Structure 1
Amino acid sequence: VMSKVLQDSDYEISQSYQQDILNNTVCHPTAVQYPPSSSYSKLFLKTLISKIEESGQEVQEDLYTTYTDLLSCNEGDIDSCYKTYCFGENVSVTLKETKKMVVGGTTGMLTWEAGCFLTEWCLRNSQLFAGKRILELGAGLGLLGLGVIKQCNPESYIFSDRHHGVLDALASNLELSISDEAPIEVQRDWRDGTEWRLNNTVVKIMELDWEKKVCPKDIDIILAADVVFSNKLTPSLVGVIEAVLKNERAQAYIASTRRNPETLEFFKEQLDMHGIDIEWTEEIKDYSSPHLILATIVLMRLSKRID
């Protein structure tokens, strides 16, 4: 509906339809419980109201009231908000994210484009992950893993990252998803090697330093998004992938936003040097997704070369 309103100034939008839009966006129970940034909600309502006014139609009173209430809100020094990612009608993931690109020396407090794409791709290909033991590298705030756990029924899922601040935030987001299903009686700490259970999947969060190459055993699938960004780190990343792919049945799915072609080519060279084959590559410019804006994503499936 919003795309029609934005693109067609003559599009008729009744009072009841306006109320439906409000109830399913800014006033939706999820948005009320886990509010996005007020600046985002203000911009959304301001744009909607402007388009309705430009078309000469009457704006529903609750739209004005909600917008003016938001104008009186001052976010001040609040540097985080909630974001809810919807994938089709059945899967949604709510995360607490920072509004800043870099926090504490890491970019892992935001969800990036390739993570959104790989989540959508995995959900469309859920049969590949059912009953599998999955390790995610550079898991960030948990979007990919939570989406896969909710839809794809893996046997186990290990979220891994290096930055303790990211891992703490990831644990909070995991407990956010678990609490939506059942009350949490005891807050758990990933540092204790704690295992969670979500949708019958055994879930663990672990610190993984690629340079040490100490990997979990018996992994069927590696998932990783937006981890190819530094030539300095790439050899260590490939070393971890190689260690897991020693299990000949194992595969890796790596999604990267195409930013610096040289970085991606260096990654491919390192894969070849370590005897890892790129089974197939898919390059996607998917502007139909609300989570992908002007982003070119490269998806690769990797396996160990058999001599």
Structure 2
Amino acid sequence: MAEPELPVRFQRRFLAARQLRSFPWPELEQNLRTSAGSALLVDILHKTLLHPLCVKYPPATKYRRCFLTELIKKHESTAAEPLDELYDTLADLLNEEESTRCYKNYLLPTGDAVTLSESVAIISGGTTGLITWDAALHLAEWAVGNAAIFSNRTVLELGSGIGFTGIAICKTCNPKTYVFSDCHPCVLKQLAENIRLNGFISEPKTTHRIQAESRGQEAEATNSLQPKIIVAELDWGSVTEKQLLDLQPDVIVAADVVYDPEITSALIGMLQKLSAFRAARKPPEVYIAFTIRNPDTYRLFQAGLDKVGIGWQIIPAHSNSFFLYDVQPNVTILQLFI
């Protein structure tokens, strides 16, 4: 796959508010030495800070200021004529008040985007669930490349956080029903907002199908058959086999839920409850993605699965890179056999 043109690479990273050091700055410097350097900068400005998605759903104020300052620095180092548009945009940003909320916009291969409202702080309201972690991006990329696994099926996501993976799957993989689940009230509230932000309406009970609200031209015309969306409060420790059976998932996914031995133990206990499906119907397919931060926690998880007879295999790494533009994190996807 050919690498997209430079302004598009800046755009994807910027709209998703990826780390500034992941941007192709050296290439930009090289290009600015040519006569068309100023036009390139204006193009990048319009594809980033002045892009309609950024205007409507902006990344954090501080992030936008840092990005624009870096852009201006690169321009000034070429001793070219000042570009009024760069300085006008900076003046507007300097007058803007900081907010505790920000947006990230992840461009999908379809041309649509997943827009998320996030907390600026990594830990907010006593939870880490209010920001998007790399394993969620990794799982979504893998899902987009394996859409047939999700197509026309009921998907249950454990620990959905603010909804990135699920929204990406709903927009690209055509599931019949998608159940987002989490247990933290702040996270569930933010999750519901992000589902609505992306043009979907969730329903409280599995009673009837609800169509997605129109999102103007942002909604894909071909995407008129929307999945049924459910947001469920799910506590792994107290959920019953009956509650899980009522959801009737064909596929279960989870991202970044293997980071703490206590949580891992609750997860394995819940997967055991799910194995009760064996008697009633075909057990669901289970896919779990996580960043290996502590090898001991990972080994503990594998040992816990072995102990209760849940089989597992590592899914081979994929080469898609729609969302992950930084150095590839140490993310593993396991398929579990319950």
Q: Does 1:103 align with 2:137?
A: no
Mapped partners of 2:198, 2:321: distance in 1: 28
Q: Does 1:254 align with 2:288?
A: yes
Instruction: Trace 1:48-63 onto structure 2 (pairs within 5 A).
Output: 48-63=71-86
Identity of aligned residues (%): 33
Match of 2:161, SS?
coil
Report the CA distance between 1:55 and its aligned residue: 3.0
> Residues 156 and 18 (structure 1 numbering): CA distance in 2 closer, same or farther, change over 3 Å?
same
Moved more, 238-247 or 264-273: 238-247
> Residues 261 and 287 (structure 1 numbering): CA distance in 2 closer, same or farther, change over 3 Å?
farther
**Relative contact order higher in (CA < 8 Å, ≥ 6 apart):** 2
> Residues 297 and 147 (structure 1 numbering): CA distance in 2 closer, same or farther, change over 3 Å?
same
State the TM-score, normalizing by the size of structure 2.
0.79
Match of 2:144, SS?
helix
User: Counterpart of 1:239 in structure 2: which amino acid?
Assistant: G
Q: Can you list the C-alpha shifts for 1:240-291, whole angstroms capped at 9, x where unaligned?
A: 2233343444211100011011111111111112211113344689999545
Match of 2:30, SS?
coil
> Residues 134 and 104 (structure 1 numbering): CA distance in 2 closer, same or farther, change over 3 Å?
same
Mapped partners of 1:103, 1:191: distance in 2: 29
Mapped partners of 2:302, 2:88: distance in 1: 54
User: Counterpart of 1:148 in structure 2: which amino acid?
Assistant: I
Q: Does structure 1 conserve the Cα–Cα contact (< 8 Å) formed by 2:203 and 2:210? A: no
Report the CA distance between 1:160 and its aligned residue: 0.3
Find the partner of 2:256 among 226, 230, 246. Answer: 226
Match of 1:216, SS?
helix
Match of 1:17 in 2: 40
Find the partner of 1:207 among 233, 250, 256. Answer: 233
Q: Does 1:300 align with 2:334?
A: yes
Report the CA distance between 1:151 and its aligned residue: 0.3
Instruction: Trace 1:145-160 onto structure 2 (pairs within 5 A).
Output: 145-160=166-181
Aligned length: 295
Unpaired segments ≥5 residues, structure 2: 1-5, 11-22, 213-224
Q: Does structure 2 conserve the Cα–Cα contact (< 8 Å) formed by 1:190 and 1:204? A: yes
Find the partner of 1:240 among 258, 270, 278. Answer: 270
Report the CA distance between 1:143 and its aligned residue: 0.4
Match of 2:306 in 1: 272
Report the CA distance between 1:68 and its aligned residue: 2.1
Mapped partners of 2:210, 2:302: distance in 1: 35
- What is the root-mean-square deviation of aligned Cα atoms in Å? 2.6
Match of 1:115, SS?
helix
Mapped partners of 1:288, 1:152: distance in 2: 15
Report the CA distance between 1:162 and its aligned residue: 0.4
Q: Does structure 1 conserve the Cα–Cα contact (< 8 Å) formed by 2:258 and 2:298? A: yes
Mapped partners of 1:79, 1:6: distance in 2: 32
Mapped partners of 2:296, 2:162: distance in 1: 27
Moved more, 240-249 or 84-93: 240-249
Mapped partners of 2:324, 2:77: distance in 1: 24
Report the CA distance between 1:87 and its aligned residue: 3.0
> Residues 288 and 177 (structure 1 numbering): CA distance in 2 closer, same or farther, change over 3 Å?
closer
Match of 2:259, SS?
coil
Mapped partners of 1:205, 1:295: distance in 2: 29
Match of 1:142 in 2: 163
Q: Does structure 2 conserve the Cα–Cα contact (< 8 Å) formed by 1:156 and 1:201? A: yes
Mapped partners of 2:52, 2:322: distance in 1: 26
User: Counterpart of 1:10 in structure 2: which amino acid?
Assistant: Q
Higher strand fraction (1 or 2): 1
